[in-house]
A = this chain, B = another copy of it.
Amino acid sequence: MSTNVIAHAALAESLRALYAPIAEDLAQSEQILREEMRSDYAYVDELVRYGVMLGGKRLRPALLLLAARATGEVNRSHYVLSAVVEMIHTATLVHDDVLDEAATRRRLATVNSRWDNEASVLLGDFLFTHAFYLASTLETTYACRTIGRSTNIVCEGELRQKGSRGDFSLSEREYFEIIDAKTAELCACACRLGAHYAGGGESTVEAMARYGRNLGVAFQIADDLLDVVGHEGTVGKSLGTDLEKQKPTLPVIHILQRATTAEKAQVLEILEGDAADKRDLLAPWLDRFDAVSYSRKQARKFAAAAQEDLTLLPPSPAVETLRRLTDFVVHRSL
């Protein structure tokens, strides 16, 4: 067994342990995903079923269910909505893989590499629209409104990120705004729905939403860091795509902020060039400006802010898992 497979098994094991307080809830959520993600037409059915496997960590359904358990009782709405947020997340992943021209994700061939870009575009649309339909089967428009608004913010964030490709004058503030929209928003949405449908009052719902948002930002900083310094075999997806696509991420922004004019010119030559080994060329610059530890520190700051909001909730196994998740997203190596 290769060390990569062991690392992956260890991740799965540690997530299983973390998710213990909601193991049965997650099983219900998976059941709904399996029931809903199918089609009477063989071609569509194969594609849609494959899509469901790509989500992997089930972080957003877990956040929704944990927020529910941390707040009150879990009910049928939570199971439906946890499947909904996973479908939306998967839709954005599938479309991201088109944009990034990525070949692997969670050790699986991406839809665009196994089928093609067209299949990815349509599968993403199928997932988006099915998620919205499923959300509308609940009694009130609360879920539709919350999910519709958040998902639209996610798309706007993705578009801003695309607009900022190759713009290495992007400020740290703008970077944080973008990851807040494209990643943290859906985590906040998941936590908000979990707390709301468990009967949480406004202050609890807002605290859970803030927790999700801060966790999401911490997660994305760590994810962006992996793209620059992670090992592809361990992480299980194509890396270096941010550099290749000239997306300014935190370590790079940090270097450029601190570099002298002359140094900046050298770094920009790497970033704007088309070398195949940008990660290697960038490595000494990351070291020189402590860019990795700076980025990790920022991720920890957001993780700490997320933990802060958990103190407003009565202690429970679910709250303890939410606390541990803040460490997990910062320290995961894959």
Chain A residues packing against B (C-beta within 8 Å): 39, 41-44, 47, 91-92, 95, 98-99, 117-119, 121-126, 128-130, 132-141, 144-145, 147-149, 151-152, 154-156, 158-160, 162-164
Establish whether residues A129 and B126, one from each chain, have CB atoms under 8 Å apart when the complex forms.
Answer: no
Establish whether residues A43 and B152, one from each chain, have CB atoms under 8 Å apart when the complex forms.
Answer: no
Establish whether residues B126 and A144, one from each chain, have CB atoms under 8 Å apart when the complex forms.
Answer: no
Provide the bound-state CA to CA distance between A122 and B151, in Å: 12
Q: Is the interface of A mostly helix, strand, loop or mixed?
A: helix
Nearest residue, chain B, Cβ from A153: B129
- Residues of the B chain whose Cβ atoms lie less than 8 Å from the Cβ of A39: 156, 159
If A132-B132, A135-B148 touch, whether A126 touches B155 (CB-CB below 8 Å) is yes
- Residues of the B chain whose Cβ atoms lie less than 8 Å from the Cβ of A135: 144, 148
Establish whether residues A126 and B41, one from each chain, have CB atoms under 8 Å apart when the complex forms.
Answer: no
Establish whether residues B121 and A163, one from each chain, have CB atoms under 8 Å apart when the complex forms.
Answer: no
Provide the bound-state CA to CA distance between A129 and B155, in Å: 8
Establish whether residues B98 and A160, one from each chain, have CB atoms under 8 Å apart when the complex forms.
Answer: no
Provide the bound-state CA to CA distance between A44 and B163, in Å: 7
Establish whether residues B121 and A98, one from each chain, have CB atoms under 8 Å apart when the complex forms.
Answer: yes
- Residues of the B chain whose Cβ atoms lie less than 8 Å from the Cβ of A121: 95, 98-99, 121, 124
If A132-B132, A152-B133 touch, whether A98 touches B117 (CB-CB below 8 Å) is yes
The listed residue (B136, B141, B148) touching A129 by CB distance below 8 A is B148
Provide the bound-state CA to CA distance between A158 and B133, in Å: 17
Establish whether residues A132 and B144, one from each chain, have CB atoms under 8 Å apart when the complex forms.
Answer: yes
Nearest residue, chain B, Cβ from A92: B125
If A41-B159, A98-B121, A140-B141 touch, whether A128 touches B128 (CB-CB below 8 Å) is yes
Establish whether residues A41 and B144, one from each chain, have CB atoms under 8 Å apart when the complex forms.
Answer: no
Establish whether residues A159 and B124, one from each chain, have CB atoms under 8 Å apart when the complex forms.
Answer: no
Most buried by B among A125, A138, A164: A125
